[in-house]
Amino acid sequence: MKVLLLVCDVIVPTDDFPSRAQILDLCPGVDGLLWTSYRMKLDREVLDACGPQLRAISLTMNGVDCVDTEELRHRGIPLGHTPFIPNESVADLAIGLMIVTNEGLFHAGNNRNSRRAIQGSTVGIVGFGGIGQVIAKRLQGFAIGSILYCGRNAKEAAERFNAQHASFEELLARSDIIFISCPLNKDTCGLFDREAFSAMKATAILINIARGAIVDESALIEALKSGRIRSAGLDTVTAEPVPPDSELFQLSNCVIVPHLGTATKRTRDEMAVRAVNNLICGLRNETMPSQFQ
């Protein structure tokens, strides 16, 4: 059996939260890049700083919205990521946020009628990929009325969950609970704007476990303050960490957690191992176990 050994010098930032300038200073001459920040853009500036010898990039995350993927394709640099691994833990958090926001557990003492049964609700899932489907699986035990989902195409897997494909407009109008589990891209950035909130039920709740920029934050605040929608549960917002003076903190009908979707030891460990394996394969000019297409 032929065994290929790979000996590497590993450069690690000395600060826990290095600045972009510090990252750029470490880039020149590297052959591989393990990228851990979804907030910092991996763009042409970073690639130019690395140099022409750069052979592979690997992300310790599922989404690739922080990466200029077109520039990578142009340069012929393979990109690894960690799809499917976070699905279970992110879906679990989504269900937890649904329960807290729907039943008003944080402010039930102020309004004894703030709790509402989940049973019989119509649930909308925006983005019916891996995470969206696990959310639908988790919902089977709640005796909900129906599941709607929207996306580019109908999914064969939807039949297992008795989920119906719908337009975005129909999903907004009919859903009592809406989960955002789609990727952030040019089509979904700002998808939930004032027009979208106006189309939702006044009793609806919104759960975002995807990316903050999918929601127009000022429009969300306005909808929550005015009662245009009932409540929101957010694992992600536009600016992270959330500024201390954010108006979201002042709203009793908004629950925020600090991007904890993947924050289980098992999930983070598996994502880290996959990311390293992706990078090693890329440096060997082999196909990565999870190579972004």
Give the integer Cα–Cα distance in Å for 62 and 260. 14
Among candidates 97, 247, 291, which has minimal Cα distance to 179?
Answer: 97
Could you give the strand order of the β-sheet that contains 32-35, starting from the edge strand earlier in sequence? 32-35, 56-59, 79-80
Q: Is 259 a catalytic residue?
A: yes
For every residue of 101-163, DSSP letters joined together read HHHTTTTGGG-TT-----TT-EEEEE--SHHHHHHHHHHGGGT-SEEEEESSS--GGGGGGTE
Q: Sort 21 into a burial class: Cβ within 10 Å, 0-12 / 13-18 / 19+.
A: exposed
Which residues lie below 8 Å from residue 158, measured CB to CB, with a gap of 6+? 128, 136, 149, 164, 165
Give the integer Cα–Cα distance in Å for 219 and 255. 16
Please report which helix (H) or strand (E) contains residue 46, including its range: helix 44-50
Kindly give the pairing relationship between strand 163-165 and strand 146-150. Answer: parallel
Sign of CA dihedral 39, 44, 50, 53: positive
Cβ contact 248:231 at 8 Å: no
Which of 74, 107, 165, 259 is flagged as catalytic? 259
Q: Give the active site residues.
A: 259
